[in-house]
A and B are shown apart, each in its own frame.
Chain A
Amino acid sequence: MNIGMYRAVAGCIVQQERLDAASMNMANSSTIGYKAIRLSLGFNNDVVQVDRKNIDFTEGGRQDTRNKLDLALDGDGFFVVQTSRGPAYTRKGNFSLNAQGELVTQEGMPVLGQNGPVKITGHDIHISADGTIRADGRRVDKLRLATFRRPYPFDTRSGSLFFPDPATGAQEEPAKGAVVQQGQIELSNVNLMKEMVRLIEISTSYESCQKVIQTVDEMDQKIINETNKM
């Protein structure tokens, strides 16, 4: 069979994967601290394929909320939260307190301070730029703000809760450049306009690949049918 057909099928598969990523990004255009997924395409034996899936760590916009437990990070860094699979890193800072007074994410995962989960007792909560937490004027704890050497060793399973890939062996470092902004959240960095353009692109590319498949198919049919008549 014609190699062109295989190339066109590979093109269709790539466009499907691009659509998966675009739909994930568009679904999360309102998710706080969400980072868009980008695909980088390449060739393998003259066949197109998705080389890598990357997370775009561009900072999202800021929104003022009046919540004292909403935190945004300026600059390179992540909040560290405790999960069943070890520490995870996030910039989604819409935290709250649980019944025990622990600072937790909206999914209930404890946010880590210098010595394990942060526990806050007190009403007037003030969190300074370096992550120091004061309640009623008393120092309670300091947020653990971490980062990694670039490129970040995170897998792409989530766009807001990042797990380092153990295979890279990367070690967390203190985030010296990060500045905590209390009463703000970092919006999703998905650009809906770009994603819409991407959708059109995907649609037309897919259609083109489809046409190639059809054309190759017609050619093959012609060969089969007309050779038969001879």
Chain B
Amino acid sequence: MLGCLSTGVSGLSASNSDMSIIANNIANVNTPGYKARRAEFADLLSQQTGNMEIGTGVAISNVSSVSSQGPLTATSNIYDLAIDGAGFFVVKDDRGLFYTRAGQFHKDKEGKLVTPKGQVVQGWMLQEGGGMVGSPSDIVISNVSIPPKATEHVTMSVNLDSNTPLSAGAAFDPQDPSNTSSYSTSLSFFDSLGNRHDLTFYFRKQAENQWEWHAFEGGTSLEQSGTLSFTAEGVLDSTTPGTGKVTFGGQVINVDFGGSTQFAAASFTTALSQDGYEAGSLSRISITREGIIQGTFTNGYSKDIARIALADFNNPDGLVHMGNNLYQASAESGQPIINPPGAGGMGNIAAYSLENSNVDLAAEFVKMIVTQRAFQANARTITTADQLLAELVSLKR
């Protein structure tokens, strides 16, 4: 008789705990990265053995997380990151490492990528060359710049008009280059400090199928020259010196005239390139699906700055909830398995996005109704047991 009273009470308390879990789910319907939780009920085994024994009620054996993907919503913050697939962001503070799927990050005053509570997001700072070295460390996005690079190679392809008449006697005059040559082309190059200079080449027809060039920096002659010889078909045959070379101060620039032609068409430039650049400061950040934080610099170049690390667990349900959307590893969850996004089964990163809570309001409301009814039913078994007891007691007046 008293057994069924405690069975009813176990039902009441399990329904009550279930209701608090449902309430918590509903309260977190707008919390980014929140995973709905679920009470797992288990019936209580009778402690006595024998064929005629029945169980003694119900208990909540575990509260598990429903680890399905939450919907991604777009935001206007580049550092709002969502994981599309498995894995957790790794964040660190004085207390140690934590794991989260709520990617509401921002840059703090030191340029560190942090959570709203100031935990630093972990990843790999990418060295020159893009390798991931060692274990993950704090991601810092500050003092990132590209140093200038002096021009070492210039490639230049021109077509020099084969119908140009031979220059009548007059030699090339460095004081008056434009009137003593028939074609010129110029490009910018950079010295070791990143200063921009103009390099101009003047071409003058020396003989049939043979042209000479003179190099100028700005308006000043570098007093360096060479020749281009063409075959009868108009294709570049040979150059002197063998590899074109221009020196400017101490800087040596190799000039490659490969691809130049001498056809019967007005002179034109087909290709120009050089490999130097000026200093660049960070102008824009982008984050790829693979979690690589790339910087675009004022000089037009881009560079990989860091790569975000993700962690996964054999049993993510075993992670300990720490509040503030954070989880901590436990003996039950197993050791974190750290990988970059998109590798080793990890999900991809979506920038300008947040993973919404995966709470399904409709499902929670239905659960709420069922739980309320279960609570009432259990209360009723208790009142019935009470009635029976009252009858029993009233037997003896």
Contacts and interface: CB of A to CB of B under 8 A. Distances in A.
Nearest to A217: B395
B314 A97 contact: yes
A30 interface: yes
Interface in A183-230: 192, 195-196, 199, 202-203, 206-207, 210, 213-214, 217
Interface centre among A23, A67, A155, A196, by most chain B C-beta atoms within 10 angstroms, is A23
A24 B43 contact: yes
B43 A159 contact: yes
Interface string A90-118: 00101011111100001100000000000
Given A26-B374, A30-B15, A30-B374, A98 B51 contact: no
Nearest to A20: B4
B3 interface: yes
Contacts of B317: 96-97
Given A99-B318, A106-B62, A192-B377, A24 B55 contact: yes
A22 interface: yes
**Majority-rule SS of B interface residues:** mixed
B75 interface: no
B42 A157 contact: no
Interface string A1-44: 00000000000100110011111101111111010010000000
B225 to A, nearest CB: 65
A149 interface: no
18 contacts: A20-B7, A22-B381, A23-B11, A27-B43, A27-B378, A28-B57, A29-B377, A67-B66, A94-B40, A97-B317, A106-B64, A107-B61, A124-B345, A155-B49, A160-B43, A165-B51, A203-B388, A210-B392
Interface in B335-390: 345, 358, 370-371, 373-374, 377-378, 380-381, 384-385, 387-388
Given A156-B53, A199-B384, 16 more contacts: A15-B388, A19-B381, A19-B385, A23-B57, A23-B378, A26-B378, A31-B41, A32-B41, A34-B41, A37-B54, A65-B66, A97-B314, A101-B314, A106-B40, A107-B62, A122-B345
B53 A29 contact: no
Contact of A50 (B15, B52, B314): B52
B28 to A, nearest CB: 17
Interface of B: 1, 3-4, 7-8, 10-11, 14-15, 18, 38, 40-43, 45-46, 48-58, 61-62, 64, 66-68, 85-86, 312-315, 317-318, 330-334, 345, 358, 370-371, 373-374, 377-378, 380-381, 384-385, 387-388, 391-392, 394-395
A171 interface: no
Contacts of B374: 26, 29-30, 192
Contact of B395 (A21, A26, A214): A214
Contacts of B62: 96, 106-107
A199 to B, nearest CB: 5
